[in-house]
Amino acid sequence: MDINVILEGSFEKWLRTLGYADSTIYGSARYVNDFFFYLKTLKITELEAINPKILADYYKYLQKRRNKRRTGGLSENYMNSNFNALRRFSRYLQETGRPFFEVSVRIRPDKQTPKIILTTGEIKTLYKACGSDYLGSRDRAILSIYYGSGLRRTEGVNLDVRDILLREKLIFVRKGKNYRERYVPMTSAVMDDLEEYIYQGREYIRSFKKDTNPEAFLLSMQGKRMCGNQVIERIHKLALSAGINKPVGLHTLRHSIATHLLQSGMTLEEVSRFLGHSSLESTQIYTHLANE
């Protein structure tokens, strides 16, 4: 099959359907584009022509390529991200009935940057930094979604009001990673914060731009579904007000609740189900963080 017929838009749409973060979608498309450009230099135009040798040669090519942003070559992490994108692309080809290729190249990534974890005391200061008005109500709901419930970035922004099951004390995640659905239990404190936001803060926001997006749970002041960057901006403002001198993001809250749950005595299997991990390997990192 001619490589040129593989539309980037459909690959990106497939990634978005599976619940990948915007940054991963953007990066994956860029890395695949780079690979296509490399194939053109070899005059390769058919997917069927891609084989292990070509992929191995591509790795050697990346090892020799200069870094465009700083002196020296490309980092191992960059090359690892590049090949992870090609694995996603190959899976996309396979699941859409197109010729696909196996990516067997394994790259040892650079030493990873330690995950940022907030203490329980710092989490309390974030909650205290929330105002008493409708924006404060929404801020507490954001904290309860991303810390109290441990949701991923896209899982939180994709929530609809109907997904907050107050009577059952559950949150229904319909757009999880790899499009896996799950139910996340709510504590009484989380339920109180979400209920207050739904019936007070959110209704006040809707009064400005009523029914612009009546289904979305987290609403912007324009009455539209909040995007990830808008939610992150609110978290940054809370961290600044709370005097927290750490780079705080949405995944920081997810890392923190996972660590705190393990410290409280919850088993690895229970935390894995809570986070929506497909395997225990993804959860095991938090055992080291909890011990530290």
Using one digit for the tens of pLDDT, what is the confidence trace for 200-258?
999 999 988 766 778 999 999 888 899 888 999 999 999 999 999 888 989 899 999 99
Contact 242, 122 (CB under 8 A): yes
* Helices within 18-75 (DSSP H only): 22-41, 52-64
CA quadruple 55, 59, 65, 70: dihedral positive or negative?
positive
More confident residue, 147 or 214: 147
Instruction: Quickly tell me which residue has 């942003």 as its tokens.
Output: 69
- Residues 217 and 277 occupy one common structural domain: yes
- Residues 157 and 268 occupy one common structural domain: yes
Average pLDDT over residues 43-66: 87
CA quadruple 290, 150, 243, 228: dihedral positive or negative?
positive
- Residues 142 and 277 occupy one common structural domain: yes
User: How confident is the model at residue 243, as a pLDDT?
Assistant: 94
Say how far apart CA 233 and CA 231 lie, in whole Å: 5
- Residues 132 and 220 occupy one common structural domain: yes
Q: Among residues 20, 66, 6, 1, which one has the least CA distance to residue 176?
A: 20
DSSP tag of 74? -
CATH number at residue 282: 1.10.443.10
In Å, how far from its chain's centre is CA 258? 15
CATH number at residue 72: 1.10.150.130
Say how far apart CA 183 and CA 259 lie, in whole Å: 20
In 96-190 the beta strands, taken as DSSP E runs, fall at 164-165, 170-173, 182-185
Say how far apart CA 39 and CA 3 lie, in whole Å: 9
Say how far apart CA 227 and CA 269 lie, in whole Å: 31
Average pLDDT over residues 72-94: 84
pLDDT digits (tens, 9 = 90+) for 23-37: 788 888 889 989 988
Q: Among residues 71, 76, 93, 86, which one has the least CA distance to residue 30?
A: 86
Residue 2's pLDDT band (cuts 50, 70, 90): very low
Whether residue 70 is predicted with pLDDT greater than 70 in this model: the reply is: no
**Is 199 within a domain?**
yes
Say how far apart CA 162 and CA 150 lie, in whole Å: 19
User: How confident is the model at residue 33, as a pLDDT?
Assistant: 87
What residues are labeled active site? 152, 177, 251, 254, 277, 286
Say how far apart CA 220 and CA 227 lie, in whole Å: 8
pLDDT digits (tens, 9 = 90+) for 101-123: 888 777 665 455 557 889 999 99
Say how far apart CA 175 and CA 158 lie, in whole Å: 7
End-to-end alpha carbon distance in the chain: 52
Residue 282's pLDDT band (cuts 50, 70, 90): low
User: How confident is the model at residue 269, as a pLDDT?
Assistant: 86
Say how far apart CA 292 and CA 67 lie, in whole Å: 35
**Is 109 within a domain?**
no
Rounded (10°) angle between helices 228-242 and 120-128 = 100
Domain boundary among 55, 79, 95: 95
Looking at the structure of the chain, the number of domains it has is 2
Q: Among residues 49, 3, 50, 9, which one has the least CA distance to residue 29?
A: 9
- Residues 82 and 124 occupy one common structural domain: no
| Domain span including residue 58 | 3-95
- Residues 194 and 80 occupy one common structural domain: no
Q: Is the pTM of this model over 0.85?
A: no
**Is 114 within a domain?**
no
**Is 245 within a domain?**
yes
Average pLDDT over residues 125-143: 96
- Residues 12 and 155 occupy one common structural domain: no
**Is 192 within a domain?**
yes
More confident residue, 245 or 196: 196
